[in-house]
Amino acid sequence: MSSQLNELEKLRIEIDSIDNELLKVLGRRFAITRKIGEIKRLNNFATTDELRLNQILHNWKTLADQYMINQELAESILLSLHGFVIKEHEKETPTFSIPPKLA
């Protein structure tokens, strides 16, 4: 029983580390999307690009298969991220900020 609890704790620590990595990568991604939003704003480009979204969605589904992740989950995550980014692009000033060490 004790060895099972130790193993469980080790796995939870590993999950915490992965969560940290995921959020760090999301921070980097949002820093880039903020720059994209600024370019779009300065050049009066459309906020959304359906062709680009479809390309990304196709890539995510391919990667989901490669990493044995449910495609519906991958699509849901992407569309959630995309929706948040579009809302931010439609505002004059994004509400999310990236810590300097990630930018």
* Residue 37 burial (CB count, 10 A): 19
Domain that holds residue 85: 2-90
Tally of domains in the chain: 1
Residues 57 and 101: their CA atoms lie apart, in Å, by: 29
Q: Is residue 45 part of a domain?
A: yes
Question: What CATH number is associated with residue 43?
Answer: 1.20.59.10
In this predicted model, what pLDDT tens digit does every residue of 28-86 receive, in sequence order?
999 999 999 999 999 999 989 999 999 999 999 999 999 999 999 999 999 999 999 99
Q: Tell me: pLDDT of 94 over 50.
A: no
Q: Is residue 83 part of a domain?
A: yes
pTM, 2 dp? 0.78
Extract long-range pairs of 70-78: CB within 8 Å, 24+ residues apart. none
Q: Is residue 100 part of a domain?
A: no
93 vs 26, higher pLDDT: 26
Residues 33 and 55: their CA atoms lie apart, in Å, by: 16
Residues 40 and 86: their CA atoms lie apart, in Å, by: 11
Q: Is residue 99 part of a domain?
A: no
Q: Is residue 50 part of a domain?
A: yes
Q: Is residue 101 part of a domain?
A: no
As given in the structure block, the two tokens for residue 74 are 């991958």
